[in-house]
């Protein structure tokens, strides 16, 4: 049985959205206090970040941010904006919310840049995201994996946790 298609509406984060996001992601695993969203909103007001929220049939479903100046040094050096902090509530997963959010983020990025960047965790919890990014045309940046602010060197031991990241890029197609 397939679910009926949802009406997905995407808009930029507004101050009145913060209590909704805080309540939606109150699970300790999400590590998302109100101060995170207040920081994101302040970044958005300064033009450093764009925060896109998704509503499915009127219910809050998730969000994604665009960091216009990435913290990942190779992206920063090349001026590649980074899609960052994609989160979709469990009840809305596998319902094309993430696809809609990333699609809107790419649309906005490609209005200003020829490349979009994204980082993805390497453990199984990120499996769906890994597949989605590859299917959307993202390819590894060729610099290997990154852990806690450094590229991992051959033979180096690191933990397989949320800080073990592979960075990917996508080029604007003609």
For residue 120, being part of any structural domain is answered with: yes
- Is the model's pTM score more than 0.85? yes
For residue 93, being part of any structural domain is answered with: yes
Which residue ranges in the chain fall short of pLDDT 70?
1-5, 27-31, 174
Position 54 scores a pLDDT of 92
Position 174 scores a pLDDT of 52
Give the count of domains, the chain: 1
| Percentage of the chain modeled with pLDDT above 90 | 64
The domain of 65 spans 8-171
For residue 3, being part of any structural domain is answered with: no
Query: Between the CA atoms of 12, 10, 66 and 125, what dihedral angle is there, to the nearest 10 degrees?
Result: 130
CATH code: domain of residue 145: 3.40.630.30
For residue 123, being part of any structural domain is answered with: yes
């Amino acid at each position: 049985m397939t679910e009926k298609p949802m009406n997905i509406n995407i808009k930029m984060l507004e101050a009145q959205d913060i209590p909704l996001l805080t309540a939606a992601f109150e699970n300790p695993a999400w590590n998302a206090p109100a101060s995170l969203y207040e920081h994101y909103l302040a970044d958005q007001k300064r033009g450093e970040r764009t925060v896109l929220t998704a509503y499915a049939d009127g219910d809050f479903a998730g969000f994604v941010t665009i960091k216009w100046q990435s913290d990942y040094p190779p992206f920063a050096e090349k001026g590649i904006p980074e899609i960052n902090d994609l989160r979709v509530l469990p009840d809305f997963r596998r319902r094309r919310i993430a696809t809609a959010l990333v699609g809107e983020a790419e649309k906005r990025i490609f209005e200003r840049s020829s490349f979009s960047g994204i980082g993805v965790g390497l453990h199984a919890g990120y499996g769906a995201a890994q597949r989605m990014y590859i299917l959307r045309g993202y390819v590894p940046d060729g610099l290997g994996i990154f852990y806690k602010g450094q590229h991992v060197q051959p033979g180096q031991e690191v933990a397989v946790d949320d800080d073990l990241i592979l960075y990917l890029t996508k080029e604007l197609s003609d």
